[in-house]
Amino acid sequence: MREKCSEDDERFQRYLNKVIDSEGFDLDEDPLNVYPFTGVRVCRVHFDKPEHARHKEFVRKCINTAIQKHYEALTYVDTLTANYAVQVGYVYFITFRARKNSSSEVKTYQAEVSHDLWGDMVVNKFQEKAQ
């Protein structure tokens, strides 16, 4: 039993390091089955499946808000990932692709968008993803 705890602790530490290093954007797993109260969760939504249309629409609304507030000269291409944290409402860490209106080159961007209990959206961070 002690070995299992040690493995879980190591896994959780790797997760925490990844959250810190990527600022919540680049997560490939969350240790929900080990620690149910993790900070940032990996969103397991498949944006191309019809049953996830509502969530896809909400994430797209977050992206549109980020583009409008920070870089209106972008045209959305697609969503790559959307991680989230539950706080007073939700905070989404979204990685998506877009192109500048004056160019055909597609680049990857990241936006951290808060959605509070009253329905307000706040863009906390908007950046081109470092390669």
pLDDT of 1 higher than 50:
no
Give the pLDDT confidence score for residue 45 in this predicted structure: 59
- Domain span at 104: 40-128
* Residue 51 forms part of a structural domain: yes
* Residue 92 forms part of a structural domain: yes
Q: How do residues 87-104 score in pLDDT, each as one tens digit?
A: 667 888 888 999 988 888
Give the pLDDT confidence score for residue 99 in this predicted structure: 92
Spatial neighbors of 79 by CB under 8 A, at least 6 apart, are: 47, 56, 59, 60, 63, 94, 95, 96
Q: What is the mean pLDDT of residues 103-128?
A: 87
* Residue 70 forms part of a structural domain: yes
User: What CATH number corresponds to the domain at position 69?
Assistant: 3.10.450.10
- How much helix, strand and coil, in percent to the nearest 5, is found in the chain? 30, 35, 35
Q: What is the mean pLDDT of residues 101-114?
A: 89
Rounded CA gap, 39 and 27, in Å? 12
Determine the 3-state secondary structure of 93 from DSSP. strand
Q: How do residues 17-72 score in pLDDT, each as one tens digit?
A: 777 777 777 767 666 555 555 566 566 556 667 777 777 888 888 888 999 888 77
State how far Cα 41 lies from the chain centre.
9
Question: Strand 106-115 and strand 121-128: pairing?
Answer: antiparallel
CB contact at 8 A, 27 and 40: yes
* Residue 99 forms part of a structural domain: yes
* Residue 33 forms part of a structural domain: no
* Residue 15 forms part of a structural domain: no
Rounded CA gap, 65 and 13, in Å? 33
- Number of folded domains that form the chain: 1
φ, ψ at 64 (rounded to 5°): -60, -40
In this prediction the pTM is 0.66
